[in-house]
Amino acid sequence: MSLKVYINGKLFDKAEAKVSVYDHGLLYGDGVFEGLRSYGGKVFKLEEHIQRLYASARAIHLEIPMARDELAEAVLDTLKVNDLTDAYIRLVVTRGAGSLGLDPRKTTDPQVIIITDSISLYPAELYDHGLKIVTAGTIRNHPAALNPRIKSLNYLNNILAKIEGTNAGCLEALMLNHTGHIAECTGDNIFVVEDGVIHTPSVDSGILEGITREAVIDLARSIGLTVIERTMDRHDVYTADECFLTGTAAEVIPVIECDARLIGDGRPGPITKDLHHRFHALVRGEAAS
């Protein structure tokens, strides 16, 4: 059976799920999106993702033509139709088709798209051995240009950094902000552990407020660990005992090298491993409850 894709209230076979070449999402990256996961048929932090989608849309003056609970319901229905329990879900809202000019007032029909598919993950061995990252020369968008808190369809900034990472043989790249402090990786938030205390760049460092980031902060605090959100630089990464990334697809993944400096002893550290296991148990446990 072909996967069905939801567009504006209708389901289409994957091959037939299309938007106009005049859609400003395609022409200008004008739109917003979310990446979610379901475990055992239950979507992790569905409300938070919907909330962030509507916040991103509001920030770019895009009105999503349906209520939040309708959209949440449509996500669950699309999963069911596709008989998917452990899935990756992509929610996209484009500005819709318009004229060839930038003016969003000339667009008429925002496209609300829900894609549910199997998830492609980092190779399992990276969770055991850790990831190498490099710092990209491309900095994260200046918040006064395109605020990284907006999960917009305009991801070229991160794509350019990702290309730098892959050219250097790394699957992720660290992005600095306009003041030279660390922000996040191209599709994940970053954390370090120093003397048993967890540190992560604060939201005003120019990051996406990751939903996994928030969940991991809560998890760490719930087991008595201290988490400090602050301004950080690369020195904090180079000299850390441990480093890890968080994201919907990655969950919690260890980093063992940055810019050719080994982090700690070059192996995933105990706090990273513990949080990885606890997060894994949390998402799957919630699914089972």
Q: What's the closest the beta carbon of residue 13 comes to ligand PMP, in angstroms? A: 27
| 199 vs 213, beta carbon nearer ligand PMP | 213
Residues 253 and 114: their CA atoms lie apart, in Å, by: 27
| 64 vs 211, beta carbon nearer ligand PMP | 211
Among 154, 189, 200, 205, binds ligand PMP (CB under 6 A): 189
* The one segment of 3-11, 121-129, 205-213, 227-235 that binds ligand PMP by CB under 6 A: 205-213
**Position 210 contacts ligand PMP (CB under 6 A):** yes
Rounded-to-5 percentages of helix, strand, coil across the chain: 35, 30, 40
Among 25, 31, 96, 187, binds ligand PMP (CB under 6 A): 187
- Write 7-10 long-range contacts (CB < 8 A, 24+): 7/111, 7/112, 7/113, 8/65, 8/109, 8/111, 8/112, 9/74, 9/112
**Position 211 contacts ligand PMP (CB under 6 A):** yes
* The one segment of 20-28, 90-98, 131-139, 240-248 that binds ligand PMP by CB under 6 A: 240-248
Residues 183 and 194: their CA atoms lie apart, in Å, by: 18
Among 8, 20, 35, 280, binds ligand PMP (CB under 6 A): 35
| 19 vs 250, beta carbon nearer ligand PMP | 250
**Position 37 contacts ligand PMP (CB under 6 A):** no
Residues 188 and 107: their CA atoms lie apart, in Å, by: 32
**Backbone CA torsion sign across 55, 26, 88, 267:** negative
- Give 250's DSSP letter: T
String of DSSP letters for 85-141: SSEEEEEEEE--B--SSS-GGG----EEEEEEEPPP---HHHHHH-EEEEE-SSPPP
Residues 153-172 that bind ligand PMP (CB under 6 A): 158
Among 208, 237, 243, 275, binds ligand PMP (CB under 6 A): 208
What spatial distance separates the first Cα and last Cα of the chain, rounded to whole Å? Answer: 29
What are 283's two structure tokens?
């998402």
| 97 vs 115, beta carbon nearer ligand PMP | 115
**Position 38 contacts ligand PMP (CB under 6 A):** no
Binding site for ligand PMP (CB under 6 A): 35, 158, 184, 187-189, 208, 210-213, 246-248
